[in-house]
Structure 1
């Protein structure tokens, strides 16, 4: 693939698949429940290809960013126009003008025309084919099918990665770094680079994989880590830097060799002459403690010239590099910060072991629900004011991530696809009327009341939800564009 096509292709791939799979779930469920679904489109905009199979028109549209399914719903007035759906009466005919029967006291029927003969003989949509005619359970099944498909997609991708790639085991118990963003947190001050972890919550550990699994596995209110220097007790919270998932995946980092595994084209690392398999031993003459010690030095030096001591083969040499200044958000203070980046990635030197099928499925299940839990925690923190919207990424930000993942290879791109699919599933369950969660809430409310909500109430709820989504979309897009602008001016 041409380099300049990689990012847009990755964006189409990621967004297109997660939205298409979501709509496919709704479509299949609607068909199973007997709801009339006259159109299923892959993509948006003008149709490039279309084929009518049975009563449904299948379309491949010009803009392949997702898709949509159209179902017979009494709320969808456009059914009349898009499907040849109703014979529109002339003005006044509803009241009996032009010899037409007066029908003011009854609802107008909708029509559909499976043979494209609407001008000559439209047929009314049977009452049992409308979405509203179905039982509450059937309608909930249709609404939940989209998010279910997204969860399934995420799970299958993660399981496939575990099965095909296996597990990398890091034969170390030594801490390489305690993440910079937690350095001012006193609860982590009992842990430091160079410490060897002996046990977690009373369980002895042999590898870094054991350490991560033990941190996440125990659900206690405190995390007890014993090292060669003593024991540290960390209060555990459901979210944030004190959550077990974040401690395992973001705060404590293993001591891994500082060997370059990838050099990104056009970044300072490439321009300075760094190459794959280079081993970095010191920064400005100060020895580094493994890869994450190197990362800390680089991140804390945006825009400042550094001299890296490198071993290449049997030779020692110095490489001069100036890290790019990359805007970021501190996950604790939620304040803007700037980190140094040179565009290199670590070489995977862990021992790769195949995972038995059953263990891979179990790990994929735990990873899927773990990611979903993190998204729920983030939403909760946003709603309670414990997290700023500055850290949120929108379509532009996800597009940038997709391009970066595409450069790193298929596994990275598929991992992003899985995470985005799970993200879409969770967000769609938020009870905002325009989302699936909001539709489900309305259905349940109507079932409890025993009657449909008034049309005015539905309109107000819809526009309220729509306004909330537009506001959030505007905020995250502003975040994305601001980040891009800062990157350009800091470059």
Structure 2
């Protein structure tokens, strides 16, 4: 992992995560034969770019996301929503429209950069349902791949650092003390599952709020088993902040770490496990927001991400790349939420049309899109307000 200057870190974090997401949509469109004249990082007016083949690869004014323009029945309304400068139809044009730059116009090209109409077989709506869902889900898949690749790279370079499941002390009268466990004992198994690290022990003990655990213990050269009945405790969830009930056996971990070097296969396995744990964490927060257990005040936006990126870069490249992996997975999961204009909402619309047996009217589709835009704008306003408030209160 290479070193990053802290104050360009936000550009890397935003740019890479968005680029990979939009690249997924773009490559899927190309693979399925859909015409894609614009690949943009950012929304709004074109700042600069280069046109290669059929596509204008550009950077746009507002650095909050990006888009791939595809031949679609909703092209004109969606181009207006995304803020692209070429808002006209993808049908045939006799001459260059006023909103298309002369530098982008080519008499041998298809609209919007030329006079030729886009063939019917290159429109999204004329592709199969499976092809359309593939295009819509490809951005999410690419973000998941980015998280897996980055996580694997971190583990391969830095190894796996963990806290061994070695007892430092036991709480008098707690289940571990009653069972005869003592400082220096190593927990090597719970209910038949091998245990090596402290977090693995917690994963096994915390969900058990009734019944017993079969705990395997290594003490010097001796290995023995004990049955423990965990005590019930109420704690604040470290992810959502909500109260939850967990099992506890009354042991303190010994403050020591072990770094284990990993080969590529081991790093891939560790990276996959880390990705799965991050996904569960994000899903827990979304579930907490939906149930009201997590306050919307906890949500951060672009300013918070930028500040966190700078802080992460100052701590080292591994911390920054960990942030990129986590943010990429956040983007993947959030895009699956069934809100119009997000990938999940668009997939839901495609499936609804398949069940209905025909396409929704233009008015319904445009209303669907605009509701989604309002929802996304409301979210942007909320997280930006949170960011500004935190600037003055922290």
What TM-score do the two structures reach when normalised by structure 2? Answer: 0.75
Return the offset for 1:161. 0.8
What is residue 323 of structure 2 aligned with on the other side? Answer: 416
- Aligned residue pairs, count: 351
**How do 1:19-168 residues align onto structure 2 when only pairs under 5 Å count?**
19-43=18-42, 50-60=49-59, 67-77=66-76, 78=79, 81=86, 85-86=90-91, 115=108, 122-168=115-161
Greater Cα shift, 402-411 or 450-459? 450-459
C-alpha contact 2:159 2:262 (8 A) present in aligned 1: yes
C-alpha contact 1:199 1:205 (8 A) present in aligned 2: yes
**How do 1:215-364 residues align onto structure 2 when only pairs under 5 Å count?**
215-216=202-203, 221-222=208-209, 224=213, 231=228, 233=230, 240=237, 254-256=253-255, 350-364=257-271
Measured against aligned partners, the alpha-carbon deviations of 1:18-57 in whole angstroms (never above 9, x if no partner) come to 0110000000000000000112234556656543322222
Q: Matches of 1:164 and 1:45 in 2, distance apart?
A: 39
Which residue, out of 274, 281, 285, partners 1:374? 281
Does 1:170 find its partner at 2:77? no
Distance of aligned partners of 1:387 and 1:171 in 2 relative to their CA distance in 1, 3 Å threshold: closer
What is residue 347 of structure 2 aligned with on the other side? Answer: 440
Higher relative contact order (CA 8 A, sep 6+): 2
Q: Determine helix, strand or coil for the equivalent of 1:59.
A: strand
Distance of aligned partners of 1:448 and 1:370 in 2 relative to their CA distance in 1, 3 Å threshold: same
C-alpha contact 1:147 1:426 (8 A) present in aligned 2: yes
Does 1:431 find its partner at 2:344? no
Q: Matches of 1:411 and 1:15 in 2, distance apart?
A: 17
C-alpha contact 1:84 1:113 (8 A) present in aligned 2: no
Q: Matches of 1:13 and 1:242 in 2, distance apart?
A: 26
Q: Which has the larger radius of gyration?
A: 1
Distance of aligned partners of 1:358 and 1:116 in 2 relative to their CA distance in 1, 3 Å threshold: closer
C-alpha contact 1:224 1:234 (8 A) present in aligned 2: no
Distance of aligned partners of 1:204 and 1:440 in 2 relative to their CA distance in 1, 3 Å threshold: closer
Unaligned 5+ runs, structure 2: 95-104, 220-226
Distance of aligned partners of 1:36 and 1:234 in 2 relative to their CA distance in 1, 3 Å threshold: farther
Q: Matches of 1:69 and 1:437 in 2, distance apart?
A: 16
Measured against aligned partners, the alpha-carbon deviations of 1:440-471 in whole angstroms (never above 9, x if no partner) come to 00000000000111222223322222222222
Which residue, out of 351, 367, 371, partners 1:460? 367
Unaligned 5+ runs, structure 1: 90-111, 179-188, 258-349
Return the offset for 1:381. 1.5
What is residue 212 of structure 1 aligned with on the other side? Answer: 199
Q: Determine helix, strand or coil for the equivalent of 2:166.
A: coil
Q: Matches of 2:143 and 2:170 in 1, distance apart?
A: 35
Measured against aligned partners, the alpha-carbon deviations of 1:242-298 in whole angstroms (never above 9, x if no partner) come to 99xx989xxx984437xxxxxxxxxxxxxxxxxxxxxxxxxxxxxxxxxxxxxxxxx
Return the offset for 1:122. 1.9
Q: Matches of 1:119 and 1:42 in 2, distance apart?
A: 19
Distance of aligned partners of 1:232 and 1:7 in 2 relative to their CA distance in 1, 3 Å threshold: farther
Distance of aligned partners of 1:18 and 1:175 in 2 relative to their CA distance in 1, 3 Å threshold: farther
Return the offset for 1:13. 0.7
Does 1:398 find its partner at 2:305? yes
Distance of aligned partners of 1:126 and 1:205 in 2 relative to their CA distance in 1, 3 Å threshold: closer
Q: Matches of 1:86 and 1:387 in 2, distance apart?
A: 48
Return the offset for 1:120. 12
Q: Determine helix, strand or coil for the equivalent of 2:230.
A: strand
Q: Matches of 1:397 and 1:385 in 2, distance apart?
A: 22
